[in-house]
Structure 1
Amino acid sequence: MFRHQKELQFEVKVERPDALLARQVQELLGGQFGEMSVMMQYLFQGFNCRGEEKYKDMLMDIGTEEIGHVEMLCNLISQLLDGISPAEQIEAAKDPMIAAILGGTNPQHLIVSGLGATPRDSNGVPWNSGYIVASGNLLADFRSNLHAESQGRLQVSRVYEMTTDESVRAVFRKMLARDRYHQYQWMAAISELEEKHGIVAPASFPPEAELEAQPHAYEFWNLSEGTQSSDGRWAKGAAQDGSGEFVYLEDPKALGQIPNPNLPHFSTHNDINE
């Protein structure tokens, strides 16, 4: 059960209307790594979580917080669009320089949503569920969550640099601080699961089950010009779980056969003849 509280998690206000910034904030709301994505990702992972209650409870806590972040961004976009009318934009656009600036705004804010936020990215592409990961494997999912928070915080920091509105920046600083904590959170949860089950997901499929393929689990294949990649930790030393030693193959050879598939039936009209 969810219960809505009227107060926002943090204060949201702007110094002045800014339609272009409102469009940019749409990316933080409905983009691939926006708040709608992490909200849905954490909630679906929580809804589907089976096992220790603390993981489900954590997912539901943070997923619910992200609902509040979606509301904050919707409120921010609405404030940035306050006082902007179609007539004023048409009049302002008579100046060629202003017209060029207005070309960067989002017409859907006027035409579709009536000066409100939309579940879309900064180019008007609708948010879609293909952005989220909820696999049922906690380690795999938590690593995806760390990735999502990293990309999301990166994008907030970039939009932060695009405005001088100190009130908007204050909102972003709150979001950046929470995204910092969420990265800590997922790193802690990942570390706990790795200590329990090992660092490779899924742990339920152990290296021993790979049989004859086992040696290839430690090989780095140099498949581009140059050998600079040999200097990395991934190319030498013991594997992180101690199960083997990395090997750098400077000139790897193909180990498979040349494919020779059967000719298709003539009725497929593939223009291949015997």
Structure 2
Amino acid sequence: MIATMVYKLTKDATVEQLKAVGLGDHYANHDRALFYQNASGVPWTASYIAAKGDPIADLYEDIAAEEKARATYQWLIDMTDDVDLQDSLKYLREREIVHSLRFREAVEILKEKQDQRIYF
């Protein structure tokens, strides 16, 4: 969804406008293509997805990812005065909050059950 928002916000921008807002380097390297990277220009990599193999540790990793996304959406909301964009970002932020809460509930369930022997 974020990629779609970025696309919609930049699709009609001129090269001069892209340069003026600091996207000149991106345009020079990627034209108008979406190239997933962080604010420092570090490309996204699958190594960002961490898994330990322990359900509780993995859920805490998921909670951290949801909270980081929530914070990012809030920063983006604070950076724009475009009401439609804010509404979309608020929806995404709220979704991250719900995911985080569900993962926290799952952690508590696993903690309660971790010492029980399960028979099938």
Scaled to the shorter chain, the TM-score interval is 0.7 to 0.9
Cα distance in 2 between the residues matched to 1:108 and 1:174: 31
Q: Structure 1 residue 107 and structure 2 residue 24: aligned?
A: yes
8 Å contact kept, 2:62–2:103: yes
Q: Structure 1 residue 85 and structure 2 residue 10: aligned?
A: no
Cα distance in 1 between the residues matched to 2:71 and 2:62: 14
TM-score, scaled relative to structure 2:
0.84
1:158 to 70, 75, 79: 75
Unaligned runs of 5+ in 2: 116-120
TM-score, scaled relative to structure 1:
0.39
Q: Which amino acid aligns with 1:79?
A: K
Cα distance in 2 between the residues matched to 1:194 and 1:108: 48
SS at match of 1:124: coil
What per-residue deviation string (whole Å, max 9, x for no partner) do you get for residues 28-78 of structure 1? xxxxxxxxxxxxxxxxxxxxxxxxxxxxxxxxxxxxxxxxxxxx1111111
Cα distance in 1 between the residues matched to 2:105 and 2:53: 19
What per-residue deviation string (whole Å, max 9, x for no partner) do you get for residues 63-105 of structure 1? xxxxxxxxx111111111122122xx1xx7xxxxxx8xx2x42
Q: Which moved more, 1:123-132 or 1:168-177?
A: 123-132
Cα distance in 1 between the residues matched to 2:93 and 2:59: 19
Q: Which amino acid aligns with 1:121?
A: N
8 Å contact kept, 2:66–2:100: yes
8 Å contact kept, 1:119–1:127: yes
Match of 1:136 in 2: 53
Unaligned runs of 5+ in 1: 1-71, 93-98, 199-274
Cα distance in 1 between the residues matched to 2:13 and 2:64: 37
Cα distance in 2 between the residues matched to 1:117 and 1:171: 19
Match of 1:243 in 2: none
How far did residue 108 of structure 1 move?
4.1
Q: Structure 1 residue 192 and structure 2 residue 109: aligned?
A: yes
Match of 2:89 in 1: 172
Match of 1:75 in 2: 4
How far did residue 131 of structure 1 move?
2.1
Cα distance in 1 between the residues matched to 2:39 and 2:103: 27
Which ranges of 4 or more aligned residues in structure 1 deviate by more than 4 Å?
Answer: none
8 Å contact kept, 1:77–1:116: no
Structure with the greater alpha carbon radius of gyration = 1
Q: How many residues align?
A: 114
Identity of aligned residues (%): 22
Alignment of 1:1-274 (within 5 A): 72-86=1-15, 89=16, 102=20, 104-197=21-114
